[in-house]
């Protein structure tokens, strides 16, 4: 009696699998070429998933290794004279069929996971907003820690500006730093990420001329706007209001006549507190006047209130870490927004569903075939 009846024919199995592989890849490549040339905006959303096809050769090797092991085990442990009574034989075709169903199922699931997409019609998206200049006081008095222990007025102001940027949508922003002088730190830009980068580097050391000249800060903000652009404009000032120039109110009125609203945020408390002095990041004492007396700083709330009223805006007083950003945003949203930019984009329609369905069908057919075979045995 020939024992070959009870062994898988690996040569025939290899030929069948190679033919199936050739057909599969020929169809796959031709389909991909057709889709990329004939179907509008075809793409794979997660194209890197297609590297999963490198697992197919390993699956084929595992199949042949397992099948060969079965053949060797039969010869080693089975008595050829008893095989016809205990074993009905094997079908190489059925074995290859089950493997091919599994292999195709995995392939279609990989395609589904890569999510093939077809392009839809182009859509136009408008970005609407206003232009906002933020003026931040960097005078030494902003080092006082009267709002929250361990947090200077300047640090709280910077944290609040970052929170403001996180909540803005479509607006363009710029940043001016000021003390006894003022200069533009960030020009008007829609890129909030850039603004945040520059914001991190702002300190009281960026301007050598000390003092607090809010009027100059307002003029610098106003000159930063592009008046050829019809967008509405606003200025937000973060300061403790200790301005010794007192020209800010008149300047605020002039700016308001151009339709620019001015909002002020008071950083500090009305109680006089010392100004800490630092050297190389280490606190070395407090600021003294020429007579050796400790210099105290406190919020000049009335001055900031007058500037906001003259600028047709509003005044907000910081309270601890809360500087009332939500209220400012609510007021900014009442300003009529204009179209900043228009962008076209192509929407994509997911097409993974049929590939996933085919993959599941192939795997279920393989499982069903396997169970039927077990029941027969």
Residue 60 belongs to what domain range?
A: 3-120+349-376
| Residue 82 pLDDT exceeds 90 | no
Assess whether 133 and 89 both reside in one domain: no
111 and 249 share a domain?
no
User: 86 and 232 share a domain?
Assistant: no
On whether both 141 and 246 belong to a single domain, the answer is yes
Note whether 74 and 110 are same-domain residues: yes
**193 and 249 co-located in one domain:** yes
Cβ(173)–Cβ(340) below 8 Å: no
Distance CA 202, CA 213 (A): 17
**255 and 331 assigned to the same domain:** yes
Q: Are residues 64 and 170 in the same domain?
A: no
pLDDT tens track for 286-298: 888 888 888 899 9
In terms of domains, do 234 and 154 share one? yes
The reply to whether 323 and 355 lie within a common domain is no
Give the number of domains in the chain. Answer: 2
Same domain as 234, residue 254: yes
State pLDDT tens for residues 276-329: 988 877 788 888 888 888 889 999 999 999 999 999 999 999 999 999 889 999
Phi, psi at residue 132, to the nearest 5°? -125, 125
123: pLDDT confidence band, cut at 50, 70 and 90? low
Indicate if 249 and 137 belong to the same structural domain: yes
The secondary structure element, H or E, covering residue 310 is helix 301-310
CATH number, position 323: 3.40.50.410
Distances, alpha carbon 282 to alpha carbons 20, 243, 277, 278, 375, in Å: 74, 27, 8, 5, 81
Res 371 pLDDT > 90: no
Predicted pLDDT at 77: 58
* Helix 153-167 and helix 325-333, axial crossing angle in degrees, nearest 10: 40
Give me the pLDDT at residue 338, please: 81
The predicted structure's pLDDT at residue 61? 94
């Amino acid at each position: 009696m020939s024992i070959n009846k009870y062994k898988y024919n690996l040569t025939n199995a290899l030929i069948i699998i190679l033919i199936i592989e050739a057909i599969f890849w020929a169809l796959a490549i031709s389909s991909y070429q057709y889709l990329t040339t004939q179907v509008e905006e075809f793409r794979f959303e997660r194209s890197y998933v297609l590297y999963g096809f490198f697992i197919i050769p390993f699956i084929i090797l595992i199949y042949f290794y397992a099948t060969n092991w079965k053949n060797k085990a039969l010869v080693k442990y089975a008595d050829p004279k008893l095989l016809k009574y205990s074993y009905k034989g094997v079908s190489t075709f059925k074995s290859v069929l089950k493997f091919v169903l599994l292999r195709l199922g995995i392939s279609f699931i990989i395609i589904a996971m890569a999510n093939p997409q077809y392009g839809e019609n182009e859509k136009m998206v408008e970005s609407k907003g206003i232009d906002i200049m933020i003026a931040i006081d960097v005078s030494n008095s902003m080092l006082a820690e009267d709002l929250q222990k361990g947090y200077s007025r300047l640090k709280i102001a910077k944290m609040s500006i970052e929170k403001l940027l996180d909540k803005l949508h479509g607006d363009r922003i710029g940043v001016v730093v000021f003390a006894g002088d003022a200069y533009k730190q960030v020009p008007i830009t829609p890129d909030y990420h850039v603004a945040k980068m520059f914001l991190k580097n702002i300190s009281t050391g960026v301007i050598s001329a000390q003092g607090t000249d809010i009027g100059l800060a307002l003029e610098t903000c106003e000159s930063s706007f592009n008046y050829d652009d019809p967008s509405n404009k606003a200025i937000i000032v973060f300061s403790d209001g200790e301005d010794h120039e007192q020209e800010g109110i008149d300047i605020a009125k002039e700016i308001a006549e151009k339709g620019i609203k001015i909002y002020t945020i008071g950083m500090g408390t009305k109680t006089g507190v010392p100004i800490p002095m630092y050297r190389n990041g280490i606190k070395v004492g407090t600021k003294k006047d020429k007579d050796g007396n400790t210099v105290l700083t406190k919020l000049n709330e009335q001055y900031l209130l007058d500037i906001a009223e003259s600028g047709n805006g509003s005044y907000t007083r910081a309270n601890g870490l809360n500087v009332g950003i939500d209220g400012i945003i609510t007021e900014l949203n009442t300003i009529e927004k204009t179209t900043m930019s228009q962008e076209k984009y192509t929407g994509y329609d997911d097409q993974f569903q049929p590939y996933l369905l085919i993959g599941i069908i192939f795997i279920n057919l393989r499982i069903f075939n396997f169970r039927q075979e077990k029941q027969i045995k």
